[in-house]
Structure 1
Amino acid sequence: MKNQTYYYSGTALITGAAIMTITMVMHPTGGSLEHLRHISTMIIVTHALAILSIPLTLFGFWGLTKKLSADSPWSMGAFITMCVGLFAVLLAAAVNGLALPLFIKHYQETTPEMTNSLTLLLTYNSALNHAFDYIFIGGICIAISLWSVVIIKNGDFPKWVGYFGLFTCILVLAGFIAGFIFVDLTGFRVFIAGLVVWMVIVGVLLKRVEQRAI
């Protein structure tokens, strides 16, 4: 019979990937204070979706960890690193997608001096958000690299899945070295696209896992 943990964790990964994709498609572009006020509702909606995808993704990757042997230091290390990365992006979504629009709604009418102060605050908020994004990207790449090594070594999944994971992470590293900016909207969409593809592949494989009754 099918192992329900693997089946549901695979479904969770695919669902999380779908929500991430929707979030990136709907995600508005930032701009001036007035522009942010105008799109505040969309900002909240898209980041709420992003937050929704996090527990689904975490459950899905726990299923992967269990499948690849939770006793393995490589697999468990990957899961812990993934938790750190997902926690960082949770903070980014909460700060940039919930706290910021709720805060600026209180300043519908501002003086030039207040506008300057708010612009400075927005600059700091953007820097804080980028810091969380870097932690997220680094955590994801390390976790996928570790899981990919385990996949290649133990043969639970086709080896090409592991090689694909490693290749994707190497591309991200090469992008950083070449100066590609992954923390702006376009760059983040590119990164999420690669993550989503790997998540869907692993999710499908987990759903196909069968455990024979003893």
Structure 2
Amino acid sequence: MLNEKLANYNIILASGSPRRQQFFKDLDLNFEIRLKSVDEVYPEYLKAEQITDYLADLKAQPFRDELSEKDLLITSDTIVWLNDQALGKPKDYNEAFDILKRLSGNTHRVITSVSLKNKSFQRIINDSTTVFFRDLTDEEIHYYITTFKPFDKAGAYGIQEWIGKVGINKIEGSYFNVMGLPVHKLYKELMNL
């Protein structure tokens, strides 16, 4: 259905995330993957959705001079927002452990922004999901990090993995947004193009 609607576009997903790539396949989209390295640094004064909007746009910038009207570049960024602080991907075991200790017994938000861009337009959308973690033991956190190695995930966890199944009491909002893409909002935007 989407492929018919977007037949005039060359869809480019600029993401190395296997989860985002799978979402695009699940939507039955014809797309190509193009990756460009970006230093994901943002101004300190930005908060919550402002951060992910900024980073989704920043990831689109290296492509701007090569996009045509027929191209549709999609970039995205996800953060975990806890106590007025952004938690990104952990650098190592110790940072992952520290992040999960902070999430344990707390409520946080997962925020994802998506940029849709071609030569003449850009639209940025975002979504936020509230996640409730129960208290995790040090042993559970250690097991999860050593078994699943969540170093490529914002907030040091994947909701679809073991820790999500045993540690999350409930969520308010989109499950898929926590996985890294607000699929329902992206679908709506694509259908409205």
* TM-score normalised per structure 1: 0.25
More relative contact order in 1 or in 2 (CA 8 Å, sep 6+)?
1
Which is strand-richer, 1 or 2? 2
Q: Which has the higher helix share?
A: 1
- Using structure 2 for the length normalisation, give the TM-score: 0.27
Structure number with larger C-alpha Rg = 1
